[in-house]
Amino acid sequence: MLAFIIQRALQAALVMVVMSMIVFLGVYAVGNPVDIVIPPDATIAMREEVIRRLGLDLPLWKQYGIFAWNLLQGDFGRSFIYNMPVLELIGGRLPATLELVLISILFATVTGVSLGIYAGVNPESRIAKLIMGLSILGFSVPSFWVGLILILTFAVHFGIFPAGGRGETVMVFGVEWSFLTANGLSHIVLPALNLALFKMAMMIRLARAGTREAMLSDTVKFARAAGISEATILRRHVLKLISIPIITVFGLELGSTLAFAVVTETIFSWPGVGKLIIDSITVLDRPVMVAYLVLTAFVFVMINFTVDLVFALIDPRIRSGRQKS
């Protein structure tokens, strides 16, 4: 197990190095930020001075070297636009995204898996068909449209939930959270629901397919032949048998939603990182883009690593396979 962790940590480090290069190069290719940072009426001298100060006069490899060296020391650079450390900028926005994404993904997983198992156990029932119909809807309707409809229905028409913003927040461990206040919670409902729909549809499909397969397996037949009740079979056999694909998708979705909840954050004017990255792309705020993408890569690597560890916890065959190698 230790060898596995070390091996994966080295792999992760390599991925991070390669990713940081790709990101740096990609952002470099997007365009020259100088034209946006400097007012059009600036003199040549001022221009030269800014370029030198931002380190944009150095050759590319040197720029990357400085960036990587600073990165290793935990310095992600300063935003050209806000003129503050990038890490602080992203750190200030991250809790908002984090709480929104976690709430929506947990909700999507718990309800999606429950509904999916129900539909898998009773595939012919009317409720199962309704669930599957809803999941197709969840897949096919575009997210931004659902967001608008949610606002129109629940905020404008019924006036139950607010249409946007984060609401009241409360400081816990030095971070602002809104899900801990009643008002903040009411602000989170609609965007979380909006984010959750697609994932819930996916979880329903996964859980249903897995359950149907498991219910037909010899494991379940054998358990039934031993007189084990259906509830116990579902809880102890089926739930475990279907968990691996569900955890895989959970990890992938968690990563991609954390990084790219942009559409929902924009519609509900949720002050998360998704909005930050879009804004910094429009103004070519290079340090923010680079840091954000590197952090995203890091989040993905960490999530995948955790998912692999969880697999090994669930499946003894993976554990012993690794001991041998």
Partner 1 sequence: MSPVLEVRDLRTEFFTAAGTLRAVNDVSFSLNEGEIIGLVGESGSGKSVTGFSLLGLIDAPGKITGGSVRLKGDELVGMAQPDLRRRRGRDIAMIFQDPIATLNPLLTIGQQMEMALAAHERLSPRASEDRCAEALERVGIPSARARLKAYPHEFSGGMRQRVAISIALLHRPAVIVADEPTTALDVSIQAQIVTEMKMLAREFGVAMIWISHDLAVVSGIAQRIAVMYAGRIVETGPAAQVLRQPRHPYTRGLLDSMPHATAPGQALRQIPGSMPSMMALPPGCAFAPRCAFASPACTSVPELTEAAGRSWRCFHPLDQPAQEGITS
Query: Does 324 contact partner 1 by CB under 8 A?
Result: no
Query: Does 124 contact partner 1 by CB under 8 A?
Result: yes
Question: In the complex with partner 1, which residue's Cβ is closer, 132 or 259?
Answer: 132
Window of 79-87, 153-161, 174-182, 219-227 that interacts with partner 1 by CB under 8 A: 219-227
Question: In the complex with partner 1, which residue's Cβ is closer, 250 or 300?
Answer: 250
Q: Kindly tell me which residue out of 232, 269, 302, 306 binds partner 1, with binding defined by CB under 8 A.
A: 232
Distance of closest approach, residue 216 Cβ to partner 1, in angstroms: 8
The HSE-up count of residue 46 (CA atoms within 13 Å, CB side) is 9
DSSP annotation of 177 reads E
Query: Does 125 contact partner 1 by CB under 8 A?
Result: no
Distance of closest approach, residue 308 Cβ to partner 1, in angstroms: 16
Q: Kindly tell me which residue out of 7, 11, 229, 269 binds partner 1, with binding defined by CB under 8 A.
A: 229
Query: Does 74 contact partner 1 by CB under 8 A?
Result: no
Query: Does 222 contact partner 1 by CB under 8 A?
Result: yes
Residue 39, SS3?
coil
Distance of closest approach, residue 299 Cβ to partner 1, in angstroms: 28
Window of 19-27, 52-60, 86-94, 315-323 that interacts with partner 1 by CB under 8 A: 315-323
Query: Does 224 contact partner 1 by CB under 8 A?
Result: yes
Window of 12-20, 75-83, 221-229, 249-257 that interacts with partner 1 by CB under 8 A: 221-229
Query: In the complex, which residues of this chain contact partner 1 (CB under 8 A)?
Result: 124, 217-219, 221-229, 232, 236-237, 240-241, 314-317, 320
